[in-house]
Amino acid sequence: VQLQASGGGLVQAGGSLRLSCANSRRTFSNNGVGWFRQAPGKEREFVATIDWRGGTTYYTDSVKGRFTIARDNAKNTVTLEMNNLKPEDTAVYYCAAARRPTATRDQGEYQYWGQGTQVTVSS
């Protein structure tokens, strides 16, 4: 499974970005998928996750109501819609596919990781 994260960029506070996670070599429709981020000088942290059917999602508290994770298994993609962005959302964002079909916050449950995409929010 090779994942590619894309859609990052520079945006002003209050703006929006849409990240995409795609797997061009193999389907991940049977895997839970998560988004994580790592800011400079900080550890990688959980952002959002979705189960294989798209019926269950979890978010970290700081993004609830602003970010939405979704998936289209027919297109083999998972997206993270980010609205009302804040400077503290600045980080490299990674998508990952879990070993299991369920949604999980536990980074240890993720087997495959994408290369990351930079999100920078200016104040």
| DSSP for residue 86 | -
Q: How confident is the model at residue 104 (pLDDT cuts 50, 70, 90)?
A: very high
The pLDDT, as a whole number, for residue 28 is 83
Q: Is 108 left (phi over 0), alpha (psi -120 to 50) or beta?
A: alpha
Q: How confident is the model at residue 1 (pLDDT cuts 50, 70, 90)?
A: low
Average pLDDT of the chain?
A: 95
Q: Distance between CA atoms of 123 and 50, rounded to whole angstroms?
A: 30
Helix, strand, coil % in the chain, rounded to nearest 5: 5, 50, 45
In angstroms, the Cα distances linking 90 to 29, 50, 93, 99 are: 29, 22, 9, 28
